[in-house]
Amino acid sequence: MPVRQREEVQALLRGLEVRDCREVAICAAEFSRSPEGRRIVFRLTAPSRLLVLGPVLVLALAATARAQDAPGRSYVDATAGVTAQPAATPNHRIRPPLSGAGFPALAAAGGFFIRPSIAVEGEVATAEVSIRQGFYYSWSQEYTASVRATTIGGGVRWKPRGVSPVELVVGVGRARVVHGTRDGIEYREYPYPQGSQTPMPDSSSGAWVWSVKGGADVVFPRASRAAFVAGTRVRWRQRIGDDYGDDDYRGVSPLAFDFGAGVRVRF
């Protein structure tokens, strides 16, 4: 490139000046020297402004929309499902043990990805199992026994490599465990009249205990900020009482298995 042309291009880059041009022009741009003669003036005509600025505006709007649609680091999960509680050994006068499945098992969690693969979160979860249970001695009682655990805790979520659809969760918290009886009938024989039946009052008792959880979720994205989530949790909680406490007396296991599905929203 000749020295004169190189100097003009460098001057153009150093002092590019865009001016409004009201005249109708066929050309897309006009070049001229400034009055001082020290720089090149670049004038955009009306048609050229559309040609140059139009694509720039479109690209800027597209980038803004993409940034708005991109999922954020914060998220909220809401799930519903079932809980399964295995049987433990109850008092020898109680049968069957308080175990089985319960619906619904509800959970809500919210967290923040501090890294693409690591998130910290808080959770509230509740589930209840109930069965018809009996006490048998020289008299007998039959009632509906229930145990409900409501857990409030925190945890850590790991998303392998930051892109895996499978996420592993561990956490610890406090659980409010409430044992209840309802719809009970007490049966008496000797020395009471044959077939004596007395309704039993409903009752409940509870305590706060420690709880630990572990599990996994599978995330199925449905939109930029929404996803379908399915997962499972294994929950262990501290037992209530001694050999005659509610858990041991009724045959309640310290373990529970939750299976649920729901939605996730990221923002």
Cα-trace Rg, the chain? 35
CA nearest neighbour of 43 among 28, 53, 65: 28
> What is the residue extent of each domain of the chain?
3-69, 74-132+146-175+210-266
Q: Helix, strand, or coil here: 175?
A: strand
State pLDDT tens for residues 86-138: 999 999 999 999 999 999 999 999 999 999 999 999 999 999 999 999 999 88
Sign, Cα dihedral of 191, 196, 197, 201: negative
The CATH number corresponding to 74-132+146-175+210-266 among 2.40.160.20, 3.40.50.720, 1.10.3720.10, 1.10.760.10 equals 2.40.160.20
For residue 47, give both structure tokens. 């048609």
State pLDDT tens for residues 28-48: 444 444 455 444 444 544 444
Tell me the pTM.
0.71
Neighbours of 266 (CB within 10 A): 17
